[in-house]
Amino acid sequence: MKDTLVGKMLKRLIHIGRYLKNGLKAKIFGVGDFGKEDLKYKRRVKETALTSTDIVAMKKEIELFVFKPKISVVMPVYNIQPKWLIKAIESVFKQVYENWELCIADDASSKPYIREVLTRYQTLDKRVKVKFLEENQGMSGASNTGLDLATGHYAAFLDHDDELSRDSLFEVVKLLNLHPEAQIIYSDEDKLTMSGQRLRPVYKPDWNPDLFLTFNYLCHLVVCTRELLLKVGGFRKGFEGCQDYDLLLRLTELTDKIFHIPKVLYHWRMIPGSAAFVVDAKSKAFGRAKRALEEALQRRDIQAEVLDGETQGTFLIQKKEL
């Protein structure tokens, strides 16, 4: 049939159909064709989705927790589309563990709807704290303002277009009840498409200080003690785009009480132009990350040169011969 005219036409139609299907996926999901691993993960997401029974069981477990600390969720905001901002805020409101506060710093957004959305949520729940900055301070300055609002023993970080899983804070506090000495906690993560599809999970290793000197694999979700954050002075200006890597490099110089939760607790939204969508979206940030790493080596009195790694955004530490 392949050699006949009908066969050739059918083959052409199948090719066109696949092309249109992939184009439709790109339009709907914000990504290209789904690979086998993406489809496999979608099935896993469906199979492991939290049920009402799971929620009830977690709430009963919370009642038995000896340690129930307040967690301050810090979220800098700047001119994000309202639908993504609302989803980010709602992901905090949906937390099974309810002893939280949401500390929002609006970085002098020019879009009027930002103030309207944030004011509405602030009025709705006293756990929501909002500071409207009069001048743009950048990601580091806005994040520090959010930290200034925080009163919890621990601080978690959430970008204004991402989402926490419903059990994020529950899993964090569950770990703290087993390991109250923990000062830094991080989890696995995945990506979230424009339509809400979850894909591309990142399953991380346990704490490895050498690996962390090659790239920021902790990324999201990260929770730290507020005491430790205050000790290092929070975020530093001039490291926008990699301010979290610079912060964590300084934090991990003061503690080795670092714990990994091997569960996907954070969903990083793939908005076109964002670092979650394409790795080179924040190319300037890679240069700043390199500088943060160079300064970290200097603080640790390590004589080495920071070279570019095999893949963009990674680094290679080459020790200097004395």
Can you spell out the DSSP letters for 216-267? ----SSEEEEHHHHHHHTS--TT-TTSHHHHHHHHHTTT---EEEEEEEEEE
- Using N-to-C axis directions, what is the helix angle for 82-93 and 112-124, rounded to 10°? 20
| Across 222-242, average pLDDT | 95
pTM of the model: 0.86
For the cut 50, the answer to whether the pLDDT of residue 219 exceeds it is yes
pLDDT at residue 34, rounded to an integer: 63
pLDDT at residue 182, rounded to an integer: 98
Please list, in sequence order, all residues whose beta carbon lies within 8 angstroms of the beta carbon of residue 14, skipping any fewer than 6 positions away: none
pLDDT at residue 212, rounded to an integer: 96
Alpha-carbon torsion angle 120, 172, 38, 159, nearest 10: 40
Residue-wise pLDDT for 115-147, tens only, equals 999 999 999 999 999 999 999 999 999 999 999
Domains defined for the chain, CATH in brackets? 40-283 (3.90.550.10)
Average predicted confidence (pLDDT) for the chain: 88
Residue-wise pLDDT for 65-76, tens only, equals 999 999 999 999
